[in-house]
Amino acid sequence: MSKKQTKKLITPEIFHQAVIGSFVKLNPRYMMKNPVMFVVEVGCFITLLLSFLPGLFGDIATSNLRVYNIIVCVVLFVTVLFANFAESVAEGRGKAQAASLKKTQKDTTAHLLGSDGSTTDIRSSELKKNDVVLVSAGEIIPGDGEVIEGVASVDESAITGESAPVVRESGGDFCSVTGGTTVVSDWLKIRITSDPGNSFLDRMIALVEGASRKKTPNEIALNTLLVSLTIIFLIVIVTLYPMAVYSGVQLQISTLIALAVCLIPTTIGGLLSAIGIAGMDRVTRFNVIAMSGKAVEACGDVDTMILDKTGTITYGNRLAADFFPVEGADRSELIRCAALTCLHDDTPEGKSTLELARRMGDNSTETPGSNFIEFTAQTRMSGVDIPNGTKIRKGAAEAIENYVKEQGGHIPQNLREEVEKISSLGGTPLTVCENNRILGVIYLKDTVKAGMAERFERLRAIGIKTIMCTGDNPLTAATIAKEAGVDGFIAECKPEDKIEVIKKEQAEGKIVAMTGDGTNDAPALAQANVGLAMNSGTTAAKEAANMVDLDSDPTKILEVVEIGKQLLITRGSLTTFSIANDIAKYFAIIPAMFMMAIPELGVLNIMHLATPYSAILSALIFNAIIIPCLIPLAMKGVKYRPMSSGKMLLRNMMIFGVGGVITPFVGIKLIDMIIHPLLALLGL
């Protein structure tokens, strides 16, 4: 994956907070939110009563039974603490990140601009939405906003961790700034876009602290399954007692409680909340802020991914690679005219064209009085009007053809051939004309990023369809799509086209993800199930999306989807492991409960556990210690490998299903060997 912030799983500070949180969460009102562990807590309370009143429920009161009840009570208490500890560790990591973000929140002085141009110094906490402030080099931007005037370098390391400053300027998709970042050079006039307490940083802090975290649909469904299993096992345990009495078998209440705790899915019940919190924490460590756990989980179910071509699949900056004259035009004349149109063109295309022309020996300079024509979406061309009446234009082939026809000129026969040749190479053709004569074509090369084809193949392997969106003509789009290895493309794409394809996919029951940074991307980001906005993009895009990438790396949508898959796989794997655990614990406890009265059941004691008491306590202790042992796996996640759902299910069944059966057999036997001599000293 891409840039990753390395961090210890549990720091001393997180450990200290988690220990405190483990006890705080013992409050029954909180424990009721996790029904499985609430049952364990109730069992702990009942065995505590039995420790002081061993004959309370009709058991034969003996000193040995009192000791046994105390041990069961202690183990159950530790089980609940371990489950709370797992959740507290996950929360602690989020709070640690929130604390680091809070350090960037400073009540700085803001230079508020009045309508008359006057400046008033106020505290940044007093700023309101639509206030306009002036921020100069070395000063901290006092709040979220959009640049309305000026160009400056901004240090966003406090938010993104990236040391290299970025350029922010008015207009376009790179006008958004975040409060707490620092202006490194020049100055910016900024319109504040959020009220106090509602800034992007404020929302980030609330999110990583988990204050606004809600259980996701899959988490709710799994929780419902766990509650259902718990109820079923409780019914079984309740009916087991009268059956045992009828059979003449004396069962202690504490033993029945131990059986219930071991058979209900306590392992996944204790780790479920931690897994969900860790999912949000995991994307945060990759510098992606998820607005909800639902957004992270939705990533794991993505069926279709919509990606922009420029900056995502390709490097984005189309650079001039060559000049192709048409119908007898002189190549040096084509280069000269192309250079003249680019003297005031600050786009990457314009700068690279001028640079290429200079390398080829052209030294054309600006004629005093020249009028430079900027590119617009309506005209689809730019150029220069020279005082001697010469008009030079460069732009899309169709636009230049129409312009030349209006001027009474003709279209060279080999123009279309040159345009199609460049398009077939995956480049972008820019046609150049002087007055009513077309001189030739500039070849702008757009390069697919290294490794993209392999990454799309990985997505295809797990059933995710990729669709590329581009404003290029169909021929160019087809060439790039083929080279990149995407499953489909939309050429000459407009914002409404993105929404249309998203709705079409969703109508077929598919989960759709997309990435964007501009205001025109906002509707599509809001429509998609997973919308990843760039932090460098507009406020509208960030408000519409349910995830924000602080690194502004459009390709990170691929990593985010893999993190979502990893979250679902982790939850499923640990659920499989937890349920498989119950099989081994069944063979430990059931024979121990009945084999004294029904010796024939001894055949089920395949682990050859020493005594009924040691068998029950060994299973109960294993049930407790397996929870903290699995915390690292719950936090880091099961390693993700792209594969089909069938292969993934088979792999997890072999590793976590079979492993979930074998591990308790080994663990319970080892614990039995350790505690049997100790219990013998206590007379058990």
Distance CA 244, CA 241 (A): 5
Cβ burial 536-573 (10 Å sphere, 16+ → b, else e): bbbbbbbebbbbbbbbbbbbbbbbbbbbbbbbbbbbbb
345 is in an annotated binding site: yes
82 annotated to bind ligand: no
506 among annotated binding-site residues: no
User: Does the annotation list 376 as a binding residue?
Assistant: yes
Q: How far apart are CA 651 and CA 658, in angstroms?
A: 10
Q: Is 394 annotated to bind ligand?
A: yes
381 in a known ligand binding site: yes
Q: Give the end-to-end CA distance of the chain in Å, rounded to a whole number.
A: 54
User: Is 487 known to sit in a ligand binding site?
Assistant: no
* Beta-carbon contacts of residue 91 (< 8 Å; ≥ 6 apart): 18, 21, 209, 210, 277
> What are the start-end ranges of the E strands in 258-406?
288-290, 304-308, 319-325, 371-373, 381-385, 391-395
Angstrom distance (rounded) from CA 11 to CA 93: 9
- 317 phi-psi bin (left φ>0, alpha ψ -120 to 50, beta other): beta
Rounded to whole angstroms, the Cα distance separating 266 from 80 reads: 9
What amino acid is encoded at 297 in this protein?
E
The tokens describing 269, both together, are 């019940």
Is 634 assigned to a binding site?
no
Using CA of residue 210, residue 11, residue 38, residue 278, what is the dihedral sign?
A: positive
Catalytic residue flag (residue 308):
yes
CA angle 204, 205, 209 (to 5 degrees): 115
Q: Catalytic one among 59, 308, 362, 672?
A: 308
375 annotated to a ligand binding site: yes
Is residue 361 within 8 Å of residue 328, measured between CB atoms? no
109 marked among binding-site residues:
no
Q: Which helix (H) or strand (E) holds 430?
A: strand 427-434
Q: Which residue(s) pair with 151 in the sheet? A: 169
| CB burial readout 480-517, b (16+ within 10 A) else e | bbebbbbeebbbebebeebbebbeebbeeebbbbbbbb
- Give me the torsion for CA of 47, 51, 56, 57, rounded to 10°: 40
Say if CB 595 and CB 602 are below 8 A apart. Answer: yes
Cα–Cα distances (Å) from 150 to 9, 154, 156, 167, in that order, read: 43, 12, 18, 11
Q: Is 329 annotated to bind ligand?
A: no
DSSP 552: -
Q: Is position 513 annotated in a ligand binding site?
A: no
Closest CA to 201 of 297, 296, 106, 88: 106
- CB count in 10 Å sphere of residue 475: 15
CA distances from 259 to 113, 233, 480, 682 (A): 71, 9, 62, 22
What is the three-class DSSP state of 491?
coil
Nearest to 348, CA basis, from 323, 372, 309, 321: 321
* 527 is known to lie in a ligand binding site: no
**Token digits of residue 195:** 């009220």
Q: 526 near 544, Cβ under 8 Å? A: yes
Supply 274's token pair. Answer: 């931690």
Distance CA 554, CA 534 (A): 7
Q: Which residue has the tokens 């420029």?
A: 310
Annotated binding site for Mg(2+): 517, 521
- Residues acting as catalytic residues: 308
Annotated binding site: 345, 349, 375-382, 394, 517, 521
Annotated binding site for ATP: 345, 349, 375-382, 394
